[in-house]
Chain A
């Protein structure tokens, strides 16, 4: 009894040593496990380093050229997110500049703005945003709408002052109700916080999918699967554990690295403390590896297994709902989204790091990730058969 147990441990150790040798023997593994994730961590955080885009280029068409119109444009230019880079003679010129990609929007002031406004003939200004670039368009929309409101307000205020109103009275008449906005836990509207917290683990997840599928599938392809099984005491569990544990360690280290990088170095909001996030990352790593095993277990052809991994991995980014909310998707997709580990990780992140809620509130998502981890047991025997009998076909 003792002996068989001992034998199991030694064979587990031998498979692990064999796997470590395999991992260092090919630069491909180094690339997928270390270089590619590291590159993406740095890429996404530096790409969106500014957090919220500022000084987005817009144009102005000022057909009035009065002191009123100039002051409107000057004020608009002073907004943090807008930067008037050019003035155009006509609407068409501005439109063409937009099609050329020089500007993301423009502000149009018609002739006789000042004279019409003073004489109470209600002039009409307009602004155009290019919403083919949704983020830029939305940000500019906010500023230009505000400016348009203020333009009318400035005129009324002048009238009110003339009638003898104090500043406080004037403001109360012009804007009786104001909206006081509180974007919870991301008051800077930082896009890097909003996106990187899911993009970065997502990239790691897709690479775990790929590496797991590849490292198992390539044994079938190179006809080393039997040797691998034999070393693992002919037990699929020992062989698989021996293969995956070294990878788990590397990926877990990579996930600790991004956690410390995001929350420790870049100081992204982490209201739960870093430990729950590291725990969630560990679950994500294990769940992704389990998914990888299921993928190659269901499609023991390397090519199909990897195609499955690519499909699941790439779709994860859209369906996890961190950019386009799941609640706005088709009900079928809302159900399907539960089959993606990244979706659960995202919800855990929102509850823990972003909002600082207790872990109890996201227990369903922790459970879901745990369920992913036991999923491979369903395909174990199929995988073992594939390892023994399957022949690689290109």
Chain B
């Protein structure tokens, strides 16, 4: 037999690659399970999450007031707190016990206590205290109550200071109030919103998780359909590692380039989230992210023996992966060990890079670390995918060979019996 030339091999490889690509595409769109993960989940989950967090901030936290002074100053304080957006004065109680009872009944999440010497202290030129007590079941309650009370106290302090200073002009009053003025700017999330902070991370994580689930599911199915429970079928087109990995990868990549457009461009628009990224930076960034996710999922899918087990193994990991990415729990506070663990997952770099491009308008220059890391991951996981597939091809060949030998031995045995 003539040795196939290098050129023949290449053309055959490319031919097979597209054959496998087509096959994978067909199985993807014929398999309801895979369709759930590749289409339905990316379509629906962002909408559910967006709906949950769409109010962005907590307004009008119910608060009880215990006012032991009943002076015009204390009433002014309470009125101003009530006027802030974050807090609503639900009711007044005559003593602390009554207030505590209401908090136990979940009628309020905070308590403002104005002591009896409040106005007297101010009139005498002494410092006075207003106490706030917060239910710590949600930190956003605490934050709302604290910020409102502080803002009101600063405002009233200013007026008290001015009235004591005995100035003659308005300008002097201003300077007395604030010898040094200050501004605060909440960059990249001006309303301090929960959705603007969490949703982008969830979107990126969703891409990785659905790929893990979808690819895991189809790997499980392939094994169940295979006679020897192998991942790679016996077929003349499934001969080389590279063509299988590239063919499958290409078909997932094409599906997910469309899904990504929906998840990363349409969804934020629906919920009017921040979107200040440069489109070309985003496209260039998504390239290695998708590649890394796909090859990561293909490598991980080797562990999946049955169709449905991927869900048991991968679904719960979404929560730890969101936390380890450093978006909700600050990266600076993550212990080194978990930081190293987080480098395994494409989502860590994906989330940080995407948030910076999309929310903070960074260019690829600023996220070069994440960008490079994703390319490295894509490369490494490509190699591991090739390696595990190579191993699988060899295994399935071995299984076939064993089976063939077995059959042949049987045949020989039976033919011998006949001749005997």
Within 8 A of A (CB), among B167-205: 174-176, 178-190, 192, 194, 196-198, 200
A173 to B175, CA, bound (A): 15
Known: A99-B361, A328-B55. A47 touches B181 (CB 8 A): no
A207 close to B316 (CB less than 8 A): yes
Report chain B residues within 8 Å CB of A237: none
A189 close to B316 (CB less than 8 A): no
Interface string of B318-347 (1 = CB under 8 A from A): 111001101111111111011000000000
A113 to B53, CA, bound (A): 41
B316 close to A99 (CB less than 8 A): no
Point out the residue from B133, B311, B337 that lies within 8 Å of A310, measured CB to CB: B311
A179 close to B150 (CB less than 8 A): yes
A322 close to B153 (CB less than 8 A): no
A394 close to B197 (CB less than 8 A): no
Within 8 A of B (CB), among A231-250: none
A134 close to B197 (CB less than 8 A): yes
Report chain B residues within 8 Å CB of A186: 136
A86 interface residue per 8 A CB criterion: no
A178 close to B330 (CB less than 8 A): no
A314 to B46, CA, bound (A): 12
A13 to B165, CA, bound (A): 86
Point out the residue from B127, B181, B197, B312 that lies within 8 Å of A28, measured CB to CB: B312
Report chain A residues within 8 Å CB of B55: 328-330
Interface with A: B140-148, B236-244, B287-295, B395-403, which one? B140-148
Report chain B residues within 8 Å CB of A199: 319
Tell me the nearest residue of chain B to A337, going by C-beta: B52
B49 interface residue per 8 A CB criterion: yes
B129 interface residue per 8 A CB criterion: yes
Tell me the nearest residue of chain A to B44, going by C-beta: A311
Point out the residue from A125, A141, A177 that lies within 8 Å of B157, measured CB to CB: A177
B57 interface residue per 8 A CB criterion: yes
Interface string of A372-383 (1 = CB under 8 A from B): 000000000000
| Chain B residue total in the interface (Cβ 8 A) | 111
Report chain A residues within 8 Å CB of B328: 134-135, 323
A172 close to B127 (CB less than 8 A): yes
B366 interface residue per 8 A CB criterion: yes
Known: A211-B312, A328-B55. A183 touches B128 (CB 8 A): no
A41 to B160, CA, bound (A): 52
A191 interface residue per 8 A CB criterion: yes
Interface with A: B11-19, B251-259, B352-360, B381-389, which one? B352-360
Report chain A residues within 8 Å CB of B372: none
Report chain A residues within 8 Å CB of B367: 99-101
A252 to B221, CA, bound (A): 33
Tell me the nearest residue of chain A to B324, going by C-beta: A47
A138 to B327, CA, bound (A): 13
Report chain A residues within 8 Å CB of B52: 315, 318-319, 324, 329, 333
Within 8 A of B (CB), among A145-194: 145, 148-149, 151-152, 155-156, 168-169, 171-186, 189, 191, 194
B131 close to A126 (CB less than 8 A): no
Which of B126, B186, B190, B334 has the most chain A CB atoms inside 10 A of its CB?
B186
**What is the distance, in angstroms, from B184's C-beta to the closest C-beta of chain A?**
5
Known: A55-B332, A303-B307. A117 touches B180 (CB 8 A): yes
A181 close to B334 (CB less than 8 A): no
**What is the distance, in angstroms, from A354's C-beta to the closest C-beta of chain B?**
6
Known: A99-B361, A156-B179, A175-B127. A184 touches B133 (CB 8 A): yes
Within 8 A of B (CB), among A33-78: 36, 40, 43-44, 46-50, 53-57
A138 close to B192 (CB less than 8 A): yes
A327 close to B130 (CB less than 8 A): no
Report chain A residues within 8 Å CB of B138: 321-323, 325
Tell me the nearest residue of chain A to B53, going by C-beta: A324
Report chain B residues within 8 Å CB of A257: none
B161 interface residue per 8 A CB criterion: yes
Point out the residue from B48, B175, B313, B316 that lies within 8 Å of A315, measured CB to CB: B48
Tell me the nearest residue of chain B to A303, going by C-beta: B33
A184 close to B308 (CB less than 8 A): no
Report chain B residues within 8 Å CB of A124: 180-183
Point out the residue from B104, B194, B312, B316 that lies within 8 Å of A134, measured CB to CB: B194
Point out the residue from A32, A104, A394 that lies within 8 Å of B33, measured CB to CB: A394
Point out the residue from A56, A307, A317, A350 that lies within 8 Å of B330, measured CB to CB: A56
**What is the distance, in angstroms, from A291's C-beta to the closest C-beta of chain B?**
15
A28 to B362, CA, bound (A): 43
Known: A179-B146, A202-B319. A117 touches B311 (CB 8 A): no
A12 to B334, CA, bound (A): 48
Report chain B residues within 8 Å CB of A95: 187
A131 interface residue per 8 A CB criterion: yes
A53 close to B333 (CB less than 8 A): yes
Report chain B residues within 8 Å CB of A217: 308
Point out the residue from A133, A152, A176, A202 that lies within 8 Å of B156, measured CB to CB: A176
A131 close to B36 (CB less than 8 A): no
Known: A99-B360, A177-B153, A330-B51. A307 touches B36 (CB 8 A): yes
Known: A117-B179, A315-B48. A361 touches B157 (CB 8 A): no
Known: A155-B179, A324-B53. A40 touches B320 (CB 8 A): yes
Known: A133-B197, A144-B184, A148-B182. A96 touches B366 (CB 8 A): yes
Q: Can you list 10 residue pairs at the A/B interface with Cβ under 8 Å?
A: A48-B329, A100-B366, A120-B175, A131-B189, A136-B332, A152-B179, A176-B128, A211-B312, A325-B140, A333-B52
Known pairs A36-B316, A48-B333, A123-B180; list 6 more (Cβ under 8 Å).
A122-B180, A132-B360, A134-B192, A144-B184, A174-B161, A183-B142
A interface residues (Cβ-Cβ under 8 A, vs B): 28, 31-32, 36, 40, 43-44, 46-50, 53-57, 95-96, 98-101, 104, 113, 117, 120, 122-138, 141, 144-145, 148-149, 151-152, 155-156, 168-169, 171-186, 189, 191, 194, 199, 202-203, 206-207, 210-211, 214, 217-218, 221, 302-303, 306-307, 309-310, 313-315, 317-319, 321-325, 327-330, 333, 346, 350-351, 354-355, 357, 361, 394
6 A-B pairs closest in CB distance: A53-B333, A131-B189, A148-B182, A99-B362, A186-B136, A136-B330
